[in-house]
Structure 1
Amino acid sequence: MKTLPDFKATMQSAQPDSAFSVQLKSLWYDGKGNWQQAHDLIDQLTDQPSAWVHAYLHRKEGDTWNADYWYRRASKARPAVSLDEEWEQLVLHFLQQ
């Protein structure tokens, strides 16, 4: 699976695809409206890819200070796009990994 429509189609299922990376699973749960489950999956991870998803989740939560901390950990800048656009960019990035 390499496309955003394919990823979004999986969101009709009750659980994410077991082959998804932890980052994609987190984004999947967030896309289904379960921010807490999304956060729980990556909360204790310190690698840069997980930090990037963590940053997005805190930005979505409205916790800009915490989001900026995680963006720095991910070596990324907080984007000047909508949350929906950032979610799609993240999903596409991780689908290509």
Structure 2
Amino acid sequence: MPSTRILLAAGVAIAPIFLAIALAQMALRPGFDITRHAVSSLTNGDLGWVQTLNFVVTGALAILFAVGVVPSSPSSPHASCSPAASSETRGHGPSTPWSRDCWQPY
């Protein structure tokens, strides 16, 4: 299995790869106007496979990133806390059994 660092780097690469390929297609496709057409319309026509492959590759990178996030998360009780739960304990909302101050030691 790839290292966590490589999996997280996949997430960093998603936007630049997607944008580079989409912008290149926008520039090369005659009649394409971003003010009138959605990026997904690049999947139409003879070169539609390029944008389809772009969607598949960036989707796969997103899945790899998600796999990498899990082991990089701290294995403490704080990992399951959300900012909403934390704000509830500071008097900004109702207190519930699972809302505790996630950012302070117990």
TM over 0.5: no
Larger Rg: 2
Shorter-normalised TM-score: what interval?
A: under 0.3
